[in-house]
Structure 1
Amino acid sequence: MLTPADARESARAKLLRSHRSWTVGERPDPAFSCGLRPPTEQAVLADLPRAQAWVRQWREAALPEDIEVQWQERTWRSVGRQQIPVRLTAHTVEAVAAWVGGAPAREQRVFAQRVATVRRHAERWARSAAAHGAPSSPHLPDDGAAAREASPDDAVTPVLRRHAQRLTDLDEADFRAVVEVLDWLQEHPVAGMRPRQLPIRGVDSKWFGRHRSLLEALAAPFRPSASDPVVVSARGVLGVVDSHALVRLRILDPALRPAGIRDMDVPVEQASEWAVTPEHVLIVENSETLLCLPDAAGTIAVWGHGHDTTPASLPWLSEADLTYWGDLDSQGFAILHRYRARLPQLRTVLMDVETLEQFKDLWVAEPTPFRGSLSTLTSAEVRALERLRTAGDVRLEQERIPWSYALAALTSRLRLLP
């Protein structure tokens, strides 16, 4: 038998779990419903006082408007005709919040208010974008696909979903500042400035750094540059120069080294402007592997750095022969897929079934396997991925492969120098 306290706790858990999706998406009706698990005749006979107390609890329960309890008549031979509560239904999110109360209700109220505020301002941002020469309707980047026309509400809804908790957790002063700064940025160009140079009163570089990702996410649907991967990688959709957007390079051919420098951490924008034409580029996912690579003719090595596929935006990669060497696990193939979607000529090395089976004793469990679709993989890569999965979601990390074995495989791709 579910008591009012039990049902309220269940509603509390549902509110915490679902109020954000309810607020930014379709509002369900009912927002919450649960069966009350009424007793059987045998259970009533076994403990009549308990059953009577349970019914009394529901008769006396103080429920907000829009929450109702459904009662049914039960006729039992031993105890006669009885009215029994069987189901509780809350028709609105607000009714659930009013009943639950406390921190969950406050969180729901704050998020709903902030969503409404962002959507009001999104109309202004869309008008400002149109006035400054951006498309008349905001656009929504979709993993490199062509932008879709959308209303301001539709454009910001995915952002509100992704950043729901962050929007909720901001204190009121920071939330107001985020919205006001976005209002200002829609009217004033800041492309090429560093955070320290932003002429926004009260906004220093530390505040901008803490809130930059949220500002850029909310601004992206109203910025034409959001669909340009080179611009986004280098400066973000706001155009503010990111002091941390670096790409790490190891120049394997001495003839290509600027001033004899072998290893460089370079701002991606500067690396994009470098007038270099390597014959071959090797992307590796392990920084120690990068530093161990020997000299090779016409070759530059790049540190891939996980799912951050910023190096794919470097224009001089497009004409080079490309090789990718990542971890032999599902995440490694997911990263490969992201690179190959932008660099279709990319080939792999040491990411095949043969390498996987050669070092079976070095397998470990993959903590968070990737389950999505990877349409750019070759048949050989698909076989390797399937073997990883059928073996129980295992992985063979790049750095566990003996260096002598790895170097022999790389020699077949690179023209090593003596």
Structure 2
Amino acid sequence: MSAAGWSTPEHVRAQLRRRWDDGSLPRAYLKREPFPRVEVPLRGPTATELAQDLTGVGRWRTALLEASANGAAFSLQHRAVGGRSVGRNELPSRAVVEQYEQAWRLLGVARQARALDEALAETWELLPQAEPWVLCEPLRVIGVSADWQRILRATRWVAERGAGRYLREIDLDGIDTKFIETNLSVIAALLDAVMPTGRISSERSRTRQFAERYGLQSVPDLVRIRCDAGFLGLPSAVSELALRPEEAARLQVAVQQVLIVENLVTYAAVPIPAEGVVIWGAGFSAGRLGRMPWMRSAPSVAYAGDLDSHGFAILSLVRSQLPHTRSMLMDRSTLLQHRDRWGRDPKPTRARLDHLLDDEQLLYQELVEDVHAPSLRLEQERLDWDWVLDRLEAQ
């Protein structure tokens, strides 16, 4: 509105902008639907205001006429305003947009509209199965329109040739793994339209999720194991292993004690238990450790994780496969001893955990219910080191 409360060209533009920003206008355009005629009532001067400020009214009317670009952006309907003192004047009362070309001119999006036309044509040529997605998501297409052809080619390679291969093997000009990672969300959405598949855990990296979801090979996670030099039949100079999970499961070893540690630096620093090993849990990947026969037969298994809701979720997951697992450094006394080192969990879980002991379940509920502090999190690496060593020795 103008200072006098009269409608301005920006008022007309805003009515169209909402329909562009919510995607309804570009969707209708791509689907070749008739333009959804838009009529915008214009608040203009009253007869009294006209008589008091003829010059201001003239400027207001001129601004609307110039913005309409002689009908190229919108047409104007008029009404008679005035009386005996100033005579009857035809003033704009309504702006009407009834063609896509008018909307594009008014919004300044003609280039984006052309990009949509080109993207749809390229989709028909390279990946016609993805056309319904393009028709529903025009704004996402516009956001990557400069790379659209390469995105389509990458999508088609994954769908048709990617099964069992690494992304690194893609052999298309101008397309490499960095390009795919940069455009991962759009390529994944296109692949869902082309080759729908079930969802996988969100606990893995985006690239690993992508690979597993669409049948590609992914670089395997490794199970990291520390042990005393010479233990497990290793050469005397070797004190650490990093194995693929399936290889670690095939180890023919007898281990008395297993300590699973969440934090990598803590894993590297803690003392190795007698006749035992230390294993890096690596978040929810710790849940795979129960598949290893030599761990299931170990008399003592302990898990030490973060003191937060997710730490207890991982503990529950580990214990679901290794029922005799004990928790370490995940008790109320450890939590309260380190008040000055508390932090906040940005996304705490409230999941039901069925494999916690009574005291663990009680502390988990206290964390969920913010008894001690909102979204409380005590990360393992923040624990006092002497406290850690004392508790390890006492186990």
Normalising by structure 1, what TM-score?
A: 0.56
Moved more, 357-366 or 13-22: 13-22
What is the alpha-carbon distance in structure 1 between the residues aligned to residue 312 and residue 162 of structure 2?
36
Task: Give the superposition deviation at 1:300.
Answer: 1.9
Give the alignment of 1:60-79 within 5 angstroms: 60-62=66-68
Change (3 A) 1:256 1:94: farther
Task: Flag structure 2 segments of 5+ consecutive residues without an equivalent.
Answer: 354-360
Instruction: Find the partner of 1:202 among 173, 183, 202.
Output: 173
Residue number in structure 2 paired with 1:147: none
Residue number in structure 1 paired with 2:357: none
Instruction: Find the partner of 1:211 among 176, 180, 190.
Output: 180
What is the alpha-carbon distance in structure 2 between the residues aligned to residue 162 and residue 300 of structure 1?
47
SS at 1:282's partner residue? strand
Change (3 A) 1:48 1:75: closer
Identity %: 17
> 1:6 corresponds to which letter in structure 2?
E
Change (3 A) 1:201 1:52: closer
Instruction: Find the partner of 1:6 among 5, 10, 15.
Output: 10
1:325 is the counterpart of 2:297: no
Normalising by structure 2, what TM-score?
A: 0.59
Residue number in structure 2 paired with 1:179: 152
Paired residues of 2:13 and 2:106 also in contact (CA < 8 A): no
Q: Bigger radius of gyration, 1 or 2? A: 2
Change (3 A) 1:33 1:246: farther
Change (3 A) 1:94 1:232: farther
Residue number in structure 2 paired with 1:402: 384
What is the alpha-carbon distance in structure 1 between the residues aligned to residue 92 and residue 285 of structure 2?
59
Residue number in structure 2 paired with 1:136: none
Paired residues of 1:111 and 1:167 also in contact (CA < 8 A): no
What is the alpha-carbon distance in structure 2 between the residues aligned to residue 5 and residue 299 of structure 1?
70
Change (3 A) 1:225 1:178: same
Give the alignment of 1:131-150 within 5 angstroms: none
Task: Flag structure 1 segments of 5+ consecutive residues without an equivalent.
Answer: 126-151
Instruction: Find the partner of 2:364 among 381, 389, 397.
Output: 381
Q: Relative contact order, CA 8 A, sep 6+: which one is greater? A: 1
Task: Give the superposition deviation at 1:191.
Answer: 1.7
Residue number in structure 1 paired with 2:115: 110
What is the alpha-carbon distance in structure 2 between the residues aligned to residue 96 and residue 396 of structure 1?
55
Paired residues of 1:69 and 1:87 also in contact (CA < 8 A): yes
What is the alpha-carbon distance in structure 2 between the residues aligned to residue 356 and residue 119 of structure 1?
59
Q: How many residues align?
A: 357
Instruction: Find the partner of 2:320 among 324, 329, 345.
Output: 345
Residue number in structure 2 paired with 1:294: 271
Paired residues of 2:180 and 2:187 also in contact (CA < 8 A): yes
CA RMSD of aligned residues (A): 5.8
Give the alignment of 1:110-259 within 5 angstroms: 110=115, 113-114=118-119, 117-118=122-123, 124=129, 153=132, 167-170=144-147, 175-188=148-161, 191-192=164-165, 195-196=168-169, 198=170, 200=171, 202=173, 207-211=176-180, 213=184, 215=187, 218-219=190-191, 222=194, 235-237=211-213, 239-243=215-219, 245-247=220-222, 249-251=224-226, 255=231, 259=235
Deviation string, structure 1 residues 129-151 (Cα, Å, up to 9, x no partner): xxxxxxxxxxxxxxxxxxxxxxx
Give the alignment of 1:38-77 within 5 angstroms: 49-62=55-68
Moved more, 67-76 or 104-113: 67-76
Paired residues of 2:39 and 2:95 also in contact (CA < 8 A): yes
Change (3 A) 1:10 1:166: closer
